[in-house]
Amino acid sequence: MKRSWTDSVRPESPGPIRLQGWLHHYRQLARVGFLLIRDAAGIAQIVTDDHALMQKLAALPHEAVLEIEGEVAVQTQAPRGAEVRLRQLSVIAANGDPPLELYRPVMREQLSAKLDHAALSLRHPRRRGTARLAALATEGFRRHLQSQRFVEVHTPKIVGTATEGGANVFRLDYFGRDAFLAQSPQFYKQIMVGALERVFEVGPVFRAEPHDTPRHLNEYTSLDVEMGFIESHRDVMAVLGSVMSEILAAMSTFEADSQFVGNWPTVPNQIPIVHFEDVRRRFGGLEPDLSPAEERQLGTWALDKYNSAFLFVEGYPLAKRPFYTHADPDRPGYSRGFDLIFKGTELVTGGQRLHRYKDYVVALQERQLAVDSFSGYLEAFKYGMPPHGGFAIGLERLLWRLLDLPNIREASLFPRDMTRLEP
Amino acid sequence: MKRSWTDSVRPESPGPIRLQGWLHHYRQLARVGFLLIRDAAGIAQIVTDDHALMQKLAALPHEAVLEIEGEVAVQTQAPRGAEVRLRQLSVIAANGDPPLELYRPVMREQLSAKLDHAALSLRHPRRRGTARLAALATEGFRRHLQSQRFVEVHTPKIVGTATEGGANVFRLDYFGRDAFLAQSPQFYKQIMVGALERVFEVGPVFRAEPHDTPRHLNEYTSLDVEMGFIESHRDVMAVLGSVMSEILAAMSTFEADSQFVGNWPTVPNQIPIVHFEDVRRRFGGLEPDLSPAEERQLGTWALDKYNSAFLFVEGYPLAKRPFYTHADPDRPGYSRGFDLIFKGTELVTGGQRLHRYKDYVVALQERQLAVDSFSGYLEAFKYGMPPHGGFAIGLERLLWRLLDLPNIREASLFPRDMTRLEP
């Protein structure tokens, strides 16, 4: 008999079935045993009142790998309204009982235990559900961009020049020379605007930031976009709004293994926009950036005033934005850079970039950066580059905020932080 | 007027149009000027007999960024059978003439010049066409796997243990500790079989191999797959065959900007399979691996005998395969590892893996590797792992062979080799 998946266990498809999967949990009453079997598709309930089978099942550890055959039958109290009456059971692999209780709806273990035992904790419906949601998010991201002629690219992660000035960059030995890990694909995606006009990348970025907080990772997945022929950063913001809608639409197709929270905000047709100058007026102070506390307050304000979990802040002071940021020609000192605040946290950074070679030379000199060390990048602007801009979404940060995970490390399969390199 | 793309310049859509793009080439005859404008979609021909416009165009450098308005009209000799009669021209950005002749059907520059000036050479129809083909390849790869319940994952590139033993690995400083760049996502994709059963990853891998040849890159894009509940490596080979078909199907939808070769082999329904033992019998010798020359001969043989550009070689000797390779229970000394030879070059490596913890302990000890340093990985096998296997396709290698590029560096946007870290 051909193998079926657990989501074939449905009242409308009664009859014989063969399943393979993990022993998620086994519970035995006096005369009947209930086995939950877990596979790629989800979890199904298997029942038996056969004494020999019950004995065999009771002796098995959690996470044993099983193959079963049986009959699908209607059972309103089982997942999807059906269960399998067990006929045959064989054990593909079994060892001891694992050190984590993966069958509980919510794992009770500390975060550090979950991360130390990632090979096991990722099997938990919530952890593997988060992984599937991450895949759906990137699927939605790609789908929208591909429909708008964006081309996916892969740019190098080993680079000869520290991307944005030198701080917080990992250094490596490259055949006896110094090289660095890319902090972002920024330079490359801009170069590719010259070649393909509209590009995106899904890939790792590396930040040697010495922060040990629930919101930082030292390696994460960046969803990067860059596009040419824009009027201003507002065109980029419009694409970002559509991208976010499609990401959330894709994620909402997720069918939870179990009681996974799958209820999230919608993206308004017009995400509200405030200018940084107005934000500063509201909060007072002179800082050219927003503190996490200010971002939280803005999140609450946007929810109250606009009923929106999303808020654009545009026009950040040039001083706090990278050298390639385009100035706002109408407001001296301010830029065409923006952030997207989601639930009170910066989720996306973007903006219009400089596109004229001579503007780059001035910008680099103002920051006392050597023009020469950026020559491979600057060549793109020397020979015809249109006005362009883009943004970068932190995938783990999106999942962390969307699913209200207590720590961003739970949004990464194998997080890297200042002390964690394993597994 | 809304901006259109150059592929809207078609005989069936006459009338006014507005385009934006790069001055690909301008050719002037006595009374008429022909402008080729290039954008994300391709190249369109713009004509004018207006003296002032002709003068303005003649003065512009290649790669100037332009906006034009005009009228689409039938012209059988133009690309797509239509051209635009120019009415208005404005210059968005223009500098000097670039150091590469991007308008020639085939660039005449040496490879090193093309790579040094990647910011420009990637604008050439062939180079940017290769980039678009790479995107189509990954699209086909994903599409097939997603239809078969594979979930895309992102695993860490900074790792604490050198993946497969320690040689040819880049070392970096991770907050004062030694860390390494992942040579493959092998361990992580296997762990994820425990969590999701079927996974894939598209991401960078890093090989510190000191080879300077036309077939080596030190950073490349790996298309990785891993799946559980297989009978043997043959199940993995079947998935790989379907994946290759869908990759080539996706690439065949490519609409070339110009005279780009877009004619490639089909994947046979059954890719022919030979056993390594038979190959050795054919070639003689005792080597436990195939030389590049032997792979080329096999490629020719498969084409002659089976009319197939693809050939599976299965059963490589265990000695030459990594420690996690599953032995062939029927042929001592041989493995369930395979390669896919494409046009006489190894394109894919794969196989069935060990799935029992105790087998790993033996395999590591036999190779004198410390079991302890793999504990985070081995935990996946300690608590129930099904028989599983997978493969990895080198994306640049696929493009290199498929497009018959002289050097694999032309299949990478910004190649990394022993001496090249820029741009």
- Please list, residue by residue across A252-264, b when 16 or more beta carbons sit within 10 angstroms of its beta carbon and e when fewer do: eeeeebeebeeeb
d(CA A54, CA A353): 67
Residue-wise pLDDT tens digits, B391-407: 999 999 999 999 999 99
Distance CA A127, CA A129 (A): 5
Chain center to CA of B371:
35
Residues listed for chain A:
423
For residue B213, what are the contacts with CB-CB under 8 A and spacing of at least 6?
A: none
**Residues B244 and B292 occupy one common structural domain:** yes
Q: Are residues B140 and B255 in the same domain?
A: yes
Q: Do B376 and A197 touch (CB under 8 A)?
A: no
CATH number at residue B123: 3.30.930.10
Same domain membership, residue A172 and residue A57: no
Closest CA–CA distance from residue A307 to any residue of chain B (Å): 33
A57-66 burial code (b ≥16 CB/10 A, e <16): beebebbbbb
Q: What is the pLDDT of residue B80?
A: 87
As a whole number of angstroms, the distance between CA B140 and CA B246 comes to 5
Number of A/B CB contacts below 8 angstroms equals 266
Q: Does the pLDDT of residue B257 top 60, yes or no?
A: no
pTM: 0.96
Q: pLDDT exceeding 90 applies to what percent of chain B?
A: 89
Q: Are residues B124 and B11 in the same domain?
A: no
**Which residues are paired to A337 by β-bridges?**
A351
Domain ranges, residue A37? 6-93
Does the beta-carbon distance from A122 to B3 stay under 8 Å? no
Are B258 and B339 part of one and the same domain? Answer: yes
The predicted pLDDT at position A103 comes to 94
- Residue A407 resides in a domain: yes
Task: Judge whether residue B260 has pLDDT over 60.
Answer: no
> Do residue A124 and residue A237 come from a single domain?
yes
Same domain, A226 and A360: yes
Four-residue CA torsion sign, B156, A165, A238, A151: negative
Sign of CA dihedral B131, B132, B133, B135: positive
Which phi and psi (to 5°) does residue A268 adopt?
A: -65, 155
**pLDDT at B190 exceeding the cut of 60:** yes
Cβ of A156 within 8 Å of Cβ of B418? The answer is: no
**Domain assignment of residue B318, yes or no:** yes
The whole-number pLDDT of residue B19 equals 98
Domain-embedded: residue B99: no
Residue A175 to residue B377, Cβ atoms within 8 A: no
* B197, A40 Cβ separation under 8 angstroms: yes
What Å distances lie between residue B361 and B165, B195, B389, CA to CA? 15, 22, 18
Residues pairing with B421 in the sheet: none
Distance, CA of B310 to CA of B365 (rounded, Å): 36
Cα separation, B152 vs A242, in Å, equals: 22
**Total domains present in chain A:** 2
Nearest CA in chain B to A191: B119
Give the model's pLDDT for residue A258: 47
> Are residue A255 and residue A147 in the same domain, yes or no?
yes
Q: Which are the contacts of A325, defined by CB distance < 8 A and separation ≥ 6?
A: A318, A335, A336, A337, A351, A352, A353, A354
Residue A113 lies in a domain: no
Phi, psi of A11 (to 5 degrees): -60, -30
The one-digit pLDDT tens for each residue of chain A (423 residues) are 999 999 999 999 999 999 999 999 999 999 999 999 999 999 999 999 999 999 999 999 999 999 999 999 999 988 889 999 999 999 999 988 999 999 998 999 999 999 999 999 999 999 999 999 999 999 999 999 999 999 999 999 999 987 666 679 999 999 999 999 999 999 999 999 999 999 999 999 999 999 899 999 999 999 999 999 999 999 999 999 999 999 999 998 887 654 555 567 889 999 999 999 999 998 888 888 999 999 999 999 999 999 999 999 999 999 999 999 999 999 999 999 999 999 999 999 999 999 999 999 999 999 999 999 899 999 999 999 999 999 999 999 999 999 999 999 999 999 999 999 999
ipTM of this complex:
0.96
Counting Cβ atoms within 10 Å, is residue B372 exposed (0-12), middle (13-18) or buried (19+)?
Answer: exposed
Q: Facing residues of B335 across strands?
A: B327
CA A340/CA A312 separation, integer angstroms: 5
Tell whether B316 and B267 lie within a shared domain: yes
Structure tokens at A168: 């917080």
B182 inside domain: yes
Please tell me which of the candidates B135, B152, B419 has its beta carbon nearest to residue A152: B135
* Cross-chain Cβ contact B119/A204 below 8 Å: no
pLDDT in tens, A182-240: 999 999 999 999 999 999 999 999 999 998 999 999 999 999 999 999 999 999 999 99
pLDDT tens per residue, range B288-309: 899 999 999 999 999 999 999 9
A170 is a domain residue: yes
Instruction: Verify that B124 and B87 share a domain, yes or no.
Output: no
User: What CATH number did the domain enclosing B76 receive?
Assistant: 2.40.50.140
A134 and A237 both lie in a single domain: yes
What digits encode the pLDDT tens for the residues B306-328?
A: 999 999 999 999 999 999 999 99
3-state helix, strand, coil in chain B (%, to 5): 30, 30, 40
pLDDT surpassing 50 at residue B258: no
Residues A159-172: tens digit of each pLDDT: 998 766 667 999 99
List C-alpha distances in Å: A377 to A193, A364, A388, B10, B135: 12, 12, 15, 36, 22
| Residue in B179, B379, B395 nearest the CB of A117 | B379
Closest C-alpha among B69, B67, B68 to residue B16: B69
Is residue B421 in a domain?
no
Measured between beta carbons, the chain B residues lying within 8 angstroms of A414 are 155-156, 188
- With beta carbons under 8 A apart, name residues in chain B contacting A160: 421-422
